[in-house]
Amino acid sequence: MTPAEGWVDVPGGRVRYWSYGESGDGRAPLLCLHGGPGAPHDYLLPFSELADERRVVFYDQLGCGESEKPDDRSLWTVERFMDELSAVRDALELERMHLFGSSWGGMLAMQYVLDRGRLPLTLSMAGSPASSPRWNEICQELLDEMPAEEREEIERLEDEGKMESPEYEEAMMPFYTRHVCRLDPWPDFVVRSFDRMATPIYHYMAGPSEFRIIGTLREWDVMDRLGEIRVPTLVSGGEYDECRPAHLREIHERIPGSRLEIIPDGSHLCFAERPEIYMPMFRGFLAEHD
């Protein structure tokens, strides 16, 4: 399906959007938020298959993908990304909609639902932590579980400050193929997101290491506020997700009435790895709350 596409003016610049399909029979649109921060929307394209029954909208957040890329660190705040989300909703007339976020996109979605008062019909997250300190704990657990040779090589390169080197990327691949995307080979749409990662934003907000959030998001934590979320919520992730099922369960238990789905043999990109399981489940969740 060929999407409609265009630009939206947001605080700090313009973002590119893609809109697939039309919503009919009372089915509300779905707005998808990508991760990173700084990973363009390409890896979320499996959700475009839902456009056979509702409108599905993607956009590249400011600073990455096909959106404008201003060189201004003051723009990379959770508050501005929430303002950006509101601007996209206004421009594309998405007042009545479902909101989905992957990884960082789910973090942004949780904060938006908690703080902005413009509630979507539903909130859905895949592989999204509710706490940066908790993320650091669970990723350290995954690092400790790696074979000694792989773990020691990663730690050596981090100690030497080589986290932006090809060596480090190579050393990280065993972790990525276990806990980020278990498909072999990776689909083109996943490769495109990795290849076009906006590393300046990612390093500034998260940090150069996948295992530790040490950037401006290092203290971000909404665990104690999850009980305030009052929209139907889907918490999902993969069996081998770097956002471990134990943490996803913690989130689910704190959000009243939420639904938890752990996708077998899936990881961080479980919706791309196991679409035959994820998409029917997700379709049903959205339809239940249209």
Active site residues per annotation: 103, 241, 268
Cβ partners under 8 Å of residue 177, min gap 6: 184
Burial of 125 (0-12, 13-18, 19+ CB in 10 A): buried
In this structure, are residues 76 and 216 in contact, taking their beta carbons and an 8 Å threshold? yes
Cβ partners under 8 Å of residue 276, min gap 6: none
Distance of CA 101 to the CA centre of its chain: 5
In the block, which residue shows the tokens 């530790």?
A: 212
Cβ partners under 8 Å of residue 35, min gap 6: 101, 102, 103, 104, 105, 106, 127
In this structure, are residues 117 and 127 in contact, taking their beta carbons and an 8 Å threshold? no
Give dist(CA 114, CA 228) in Å, integer: 7
Q: Which of 257, 265, 262 is nearest to 247 (CA)?
A: 262
Give dist(CA 103, CA 89) in Å, integer: 20
